[in-house]
Amino acid sequence: MTAKISMKSTPYTRFQATLEDVFQKIELGAPERKLLSEPQAIHRETITIKRDDGKKAEFPAFRVQFNNARGPYKGGIRYHPDADLDEVKALAALMAIKTAVVGIPFGGSKGGVQCDPKELSKREVQEISRAYVRAFGKHLGADIDCPAPDVNTNADIMAWMRDEYEKITHSYAPAMITGKPLAYGGSLGRDTATARGGFFILQELTDRDALDPSELRVAIQGFGNAGAHMAQLLHGAGYTVVAVSDSQGGIYSPEGIDPVRIEKYKHKTGSVAGEYCKGSVCDIDRMKMDGVRKISNEELLELPCDILIPAALDNVITGANAKRIRAKLILEIANGPTTPEADVILAKKRVKVIPDVLANAGGVTVSYFEWVQGRSGEQWTAERVDQDLKRVMLAAFREVRRTAYREKMTHREAAFAVGLRRIMEAMKVRGWI
Ligand code: NAD
């Protein structure tokens, strides 16, 4: 594989580098390349709210609709100080590939509001969320573009958004948004879906090679919705979780750590490192006793382990640190954690990378189940959600693995190839190309 190194690396240039690489391998013509390289629509607005102190505040807001050849646009909304058009475009593009890789009838989109939710009150976050729907409502809808949560957005926000949408459209619209609370049209299993989807893939890999999970050491960066659930699932299945981290830093123990205990402690103290070095009963003596030490997020990536799971930020495994990665397998739960330069180095080192567009697709898959439930008025059981998620994830993984093997590609290239071909097929039958 090759990586086109651009002058200034941004989320979108990194997406395009992978796209170009795969375009060459699957020999696409210029018209198809053009259609698959740029979003179909970019919407941007400035959201104005009244802060609690009575002053007005403005926030740039975006909705990028990348491709809807296979069905309504689908993609989360991110609240973050760095959420800009470039990032939202890259995330929208990844969504289009992701929905195609898992074969659910959606396209790809993404939204963002450039704000720091940590500096906003709950009332202000609600104001922003309702204003977002008023600003972009005419571009949203169950059959048009269906949002969901992403970084710093949650079920409460989805409920406010649905409520605002129903008010302005005078309609009943449970399928216009997913990731809602159970009491207001949510699906069982949505909160754990991303982690479970990745977990099914890991289990398949482990079973196929008849590996003993307890001998597999796992390091996980990020202890939020996706990372914490993943740590608990793996621990429960007997894997040895040797390291976890959050934005404050991480902890490492070669003997393994108990993520359930950490989750409980984190709720009390607010950080993972707090488990062993903060709080009244947790001091340095206890840290020594447990053989646990504090580490930085950078150190976590380079630990001696078998499986590395980035589950926090993008752009963390780069040309600068990829050669020092010691894991044999990387499962990308975060979106865009590995740069194209790092991909080249990892491929040479024969590190297997299960890419974001496959590894974290469990979230959007259960969002699809929620959309189906919203349209039909049914409530599926947790067992049904889990069974169907497993079926979808394993079918996608097997297709990607077959493509990688047959066409001598990395798993990322193969996942892009599978996704792009499916989008192209839909564009062809619709007469777009
Ligand atoms: P979250 O906000 O619940 O958790 C993010 C975690 O990352 C937190 O533990 C936070 O402390 C940590 N973090 C923040 N800054 C960090 C830093 N500098 N270094 C290390 N850790 C840091 O978010 P989430 O929903 O768990 O999403 C995490 C990643 O997974 C994102 O890239 C997101 O796009 C991706 N993802 C999530 C889902 C989902 O359903 N939750 C689905 C697909 C992809």
List pLDDT tens digits, range 157-201. Answer: 999 999 999 999 999 999 999 999 999 999 999 999 999 999 999
CA 399 to CA 415: how far, in whole Å? 8
Angle between helices 362-376 and 85-101 (to 10 degrees): 80
Maximum average pLDDT range among 22-26, 27-31, 281-285: 22-26
Task: Spell out the CATH class of 193-354.
Answer: alpha beta
Measured in angstroms, how far is the CA atom of residue 268 from the centroid of ligand 1?
19
pLDDT computed for residue 284 by the predictor = 41
421 Cβ neighbours under 8 A, 6+ residues apart: 26
How many degrees, rounded to 5, is the angle at CA 420 between CA 335 and CA 384?
A: 65
Full-prediction pTM beyond 0.85?
yes
- If DSSP codes are grouped into helix, strand and coil, which group holds residue 65? strand
277, pLDDT greater than 90: no
pLDDT computed for residue 271 by the predictor = 67
List the CATH code of the domain at 38-180: 3.40.50.10860
Looking at the chain, which residues constitute the CATH 3.40.50.720 domain(s)? Answer: 193-354
Residue owning the nearest CA to atom 35 of ligand 1: 334
- The size of the chain, in residues, is 433
Mean pLDDT, the chain, rounded, equals 93
Q: Which of 335, 365, 366 to mutate to test the pocket of ligand 1 (most atoms within 8 A of CB)?
A: 335
Catalytic residue among 74, 89, 98, 110: 110
pLDDT-derived band at 28 (thresholds 50, 70, 90) equals confident
Q: Which of 153, 269, 360 to mutate to test the pocket of ligand 1 (most atoms within 8 A of CB)?
A: 360
Tokens of 342: 């790092």
Measured in angstroms, how far is the CA atom of residue 170 from the centroid of ligand 1?
35
CA 218 to CA 240: how far, in whole Å? 6
pLDDT computed for residue 406 by the predictor = 98
Q: Is 110 a catalytic residue?
A: yes
pLDDT computed for residue 279 by the predictor = 37
Yes or no: say if 429 and 68 are a contact pair by the CB < 8 Å rule: no
291 Cβ neighbours under 8 A, 6+ residues apart: 253, 254, 255
CA 171 to CA 149: how far, in whole Å? 22
286, pLDDT greater than 90: no
How much is the CA Rg of the chain, to the nearest whole Å? 21
**Nearest-atom index, ligand 1, CA of 223:** 9
Side-chain-facing half-sphere of 56: CA atoms under 13 Å: 4
Positive or negative CA dihedral for 6, 10, 11, 13? negative
Question: What type of residue is 345?
Answer: I
Instruction: Provide long-range contacts, Cβ within 8 A and 24+ apart, for 408-414.
Output: 409/1, 409/25, 410/1, 410/343, 410/347, 410/353, 411/352, 411/353, 411/354, 411/355, 411/358, 412/18, 412/338, 412/343, 412/353, 412/355, 412/357, 413/1, 413/18, 413/21, 413/22, 413/25
Closest alpha carbon to 190 in 229, 247, 151: 229
DSSP H/E element including 233? helix 225-236
Looking at the chain, which residues constitute the CATH 3.40.50.10860 domain(s)? Answer: 38-180
Positive or negative CA dihedral for 80, 153, 229, 390? negative
Q: Which of 150, 201, 315, 358 to mutate to test the pocket of ligand 1 (most atoms within 8 A of CB)?
A: 150
54, pLDDT greater than 70: yes
Closest alpha carbon to 97 in 431, 429, 430, 414: 414
Mean pLDDT of 360-373: 98
Q: Which protein residues touch ligand 1 with a CB less than 6 Å away?
A: 150-152, 194, 221-227, 245-247, 297, 311-313, 333-335, 360, 363
Residue owning the nearest CA to atom 18 of ligand 1: 247
Side-chain-facing half-sphere of 27: CA atoms under 13 Å: 1
pLDDT computed for residue 307 by the predictor = 98
